[in-house]
Amino acid sequence: MKKVKQTVRIMTLVATITLTMSCKDAETKNDQPKNHSEMNHQKEKNQEMSMNNGQMTSGETILNKYFDLKDALVNDNNSKAKDMGNALAESLKTFDATIYSSNEKNELNDIIQDATEHAEHIGKSDIKHQREHFKMLSKDLTDMVAITGSSIKIYEQYCPMYDGGTAWLSRSENIKNPYYGSSMLNCGKVQREIN
């Protein structure tokens, strides 16, 4: 009996060791898709550069991706929100702040850096965590719009229930709450109109 116990113990150990080793392997393999997405990223960058020739397109592109992400959260769609988060992160990285004054540029770069991290986390987490980051992302993009402006009218909406009171941006006046989705779709009111 003692021998069996010992063997079981040792076998558990071997399992642990093999697991750790294989985990390391998996991680090195992960580098490949990363390179790949970097290539895509480069392609997208080139495309975007040839497409846009000014501030508006960039700020606008980012806002549009944000609204897509918001809609995915309104629909409780975790995997769509992941895709939209990753797409948003890519656009944020190509944001061109060069035409702004140096003060604005500093603030924009700060905003973009922060927002990129939130978008990346949204790209790889469960919906509860996505919503936590979406709150901080919304704050960043509200501050971004204050500098870049927007060609369309935007509504800042606010729900007092979520996390001590939380805002988000929307293209439409109607309330559809991205923090609760179907469980409390109508929580909130328009707090401010931008433009």
Residue 27 contact among another protein, Cu ion, none, beta carbon within 5 to 8 Å by kind:
another protein
Q: Does 111 bind another protein (CB under 8 A)?
A: yes
Contact status: 146 vs another protein (CB under 8 A): no
Q: What's the rounded Cα separation, in Å, for the pair 73 and 69? A: 6
Least separation in angstroms between CB 112 and another protein: 11
Residue 24 or residue 36: which is nearer to another protein going by CB? 24
- Minimum gap (Å) between residue 3 Cβ and Cu ion: 47
> Under the criterion CB under 8 A, does residue 4 sit at the interface with another protein?
yes
| Using rule CB under 8 A, residue 10 touches another protein | yes
What is the rounded distance in angstroms from the CA atom of residue 141 to the CA atom of residue 169? 8
Does 79 bind another protein (CB under 8 A)? Our answer is no
Q: Which of 70, 121, 131, 176 binds Cu ion (CB under 5 A)?
A: 121
Applying CB under 8 A, does 117 fall inside the site for another protein?
Answer: yes
Closest to Cu ion by CB, 59 vs 85, is 85
Q: Which residues bind Cu ion (CB under 5 A)?
A: 121
Q: Which residues bind another protein (CB under 8 A)?
A: 3-4, 6-7, 10-11, 13-14, 16-17, 20-21, 23-24, 27, 110-111, 113-114, 117-118, 132, 135-136, 140
